[in-house]
Structure 1
């Protein structure tokens, strides 16, 4: 009998504090701390490690057209070496939130991710709007498809 494949990104018991403190780049640690505070405030959810490297807040259940389904954080981020990677609404982020992304500041976007070099380089009020929009989509508040 085949066993179901475990999702790579699932909540873990890894300490968020330890994970963030382990980043060798002082600026990246500071940005991650600010992002953790912003996402926690906007979601009302505690930070939880999803897999080995994503700090996620809350969760939602998704089902693709193919029938595949799973759970994911409402929003999340990972303080990678080259960029802060923000995990926001998948499928159509660029089309749906194009006006906000144009005002965000220097970034790259793709498939529900936003890549930032530094948090100080972007407009925090626009970033907050993108995060709030993602939370609304995943909670079904604004009728968006989410994922």
Structure 2
């Protein structure tokens, strides 16, 4: 089985945003998301892999593949095409919040936004809360 590439590391989050975000808007939004997620979750931002910023962590065990590891509770990445938000678990609560979120596209495991001003931050915070709650219920040993 291949090793998991997206693991917690000691890279500097602020340096990452400054160098990785390709536009001034992405950098501004990256630093704003850093503040929003840190303030909401109470966790310090940490780098996961080469390009993901995560808050908190939980230990998961896959029911399908026997794979297990650590993963952030919520996170984001200021990617070139769009900002990736890792705050979604497809719960009924999340589904109802999507209609209030604003302008976004869905990915397989995340939400893509072009800029932070396209979405409702209060709804984003509700989505983070729901994600954290569900993950702590499903994986109670850490988080």
Would you call these one fold, judging by a TM-score over 0.5? yes
Counterpart of 1:106 in 2: which secondary structure? coil
Give the Cα separation in 1 of the matches to 2:32 and 2:134. 23
**Is this contact kept in 2: 1:89–1:137, CA < 8 A?**
no
The aligned counterpart of 1:120 is: 117
Q: CA deviation at 1:72?
A: 0.3
The aligned counterpart of 1:65 is: 63
Give the Cα separation in 1 of the matches to 2:62 and 2:88. 14
Are residues 122 and 138 of structure 1, via their aligned partners in 2, closer, same or farther at CA, if it must alter by over 3 Å? same
Output one character per residue of 1:79-115: Cα deviation in whole Å (capped at 9) or x when no partner. Answer: 001100011244x35x551110011011112333010
Q: CA deviation at 1:25?
A: 0.6
Aligned counterparts, 1:1-147, within 5 A:
5-22=2-19, 23-66=21-64, 67-90=66-89, 92-93=90-91, 95-140=92-137
**Structure 1: tracts of 5 or more residues without a match:** none
Give the Cα separation in 2 of the matches to 1:85 and 1:63. 24
TM superposition score normalised by structure 1: 0.85
Structure 1's consecutive aligned runs of 4 or more residues displaced over 6 angstroms after TM superposition are none
Give the Cα separation in 1 of the matches to 2:105 and 2:61. 26
> What is the total number of aligned residue pairs between the two structures?
137
**Is this contact kept in 1: 2:43–2:55, CA < 8 A?**
yes
Output one character per residue of 1:8-63: Cα deviation in whole Å (capped at 9) or x when no partner. Answer: 11011111011011123110001111111111112111001000000011100111
Give the Cα separation in 2 of the matches to 1:121 and 1:110. 17
TM superposition score normalised by structure 2: 0.87
Counterpart of 2:10 in 1: which secondary structure? coil
